[in-house]
Structure 1
């Protein structure tokens, strides 16, 4: 269905599950556990796992808080994409990494729902990818004390709801639970 010709493959894209990013996130342990299960399933099925790692002025590259959580271990040969913007494609080599692997569909998990997850979902769809959001494997923290009008749970639920209707000519967005996601090689 993707508009990216000759790219029938799927990749699991794990976004920003870094110590400081998810430290105060809603259902942190449950989300990390489901992501770890998806990583194991992807590896067992020879589906590429692509790791995305954010840095900025408040999250210095190489710092302890910048590191991925200990429950998720990257393997040699699995690409790591370093970014400084919300959209994992912007100013990175993510597109090249996916193209090299023949990927036209991505399965998105990670953090923060209302920032990097949403930006990457939209960035992928406009670039021609089919995009599956794993409804119970993305999270955010409660930002109401800084003016957000919704709790973390509400932000997650809203994102799951609106992404279930995402589409563009020749490509689709969908929402599935971790248990429902199919990870099959090209």
Structure 2
């Protein structure tokens, strides 16, 4: 059984990304982590992206209905790949006395990477399970290779994998 952080942060698991690599499998894995955090009475924070492509209030902006999101969970809306940039995320974490976070979600090379690097810079200890982010194939790499590439960069530099 892997260690739990002080809070679980679920990044951008929205309908706009439902066709990314292994999206439904990732939701299943995230829901398993959510269950462990609920049992431990630890906070679960959902990050919800909003920009010109994913417009607030639209169908694609909605969090996936398959996620185990409850009304007591915290939602932070972001407008930039870095979930800390011009949001209240750091204040929420400080108000809950959170020092370690577990991150998962979408997209590996955008919002996940930017948020991981910033969280590390702010002094948070970041825990992750392998294969807990998703993305799309791009002109250079298939999604699985992008995920492996970023996990290799994060490993022991920014993130402790469990």
Shorter-chain TM-score above 0.5: yes
Higher relative contact order (CA 8 A, sep 6+): 1
Aligned pairs (5 A) from 1:15-26: 15-21=11-17, 23-26=18-21
1:79 equivalent among 74, 77, 97:
74
For 1:25-174, list aligned pairs within 5 A: 25-144=20-139, 149-167=140-158, 173-174=159-160
1:135 partner SS: coil
Do the aligned partners of 1:106 and 1:130 also contact (CA within 8 Å) in 2?
yes
Structure whose residues are more often strand by fraction: 1
Q: Which runs of 5+ in 1 are unaligned?
A: 1-8, 168-172, 177-186
TM-score (norm 1): 0.81
Q: Max radius of gyration: which structure?
A: 1
For the aligned residue pairs, the C-alpha RMSD in angstroms reads 1.2
C-alpha contact (below 8 Å) 2:34/2:68 kept by paired residues = no
Question: What is the number of residues matched between the two proteins?
Answer: 158
Q: Which runs of 4+ in 1 moved over 3 A?
A: none
The residue that corresponds to 1:14 in the other structure is 10
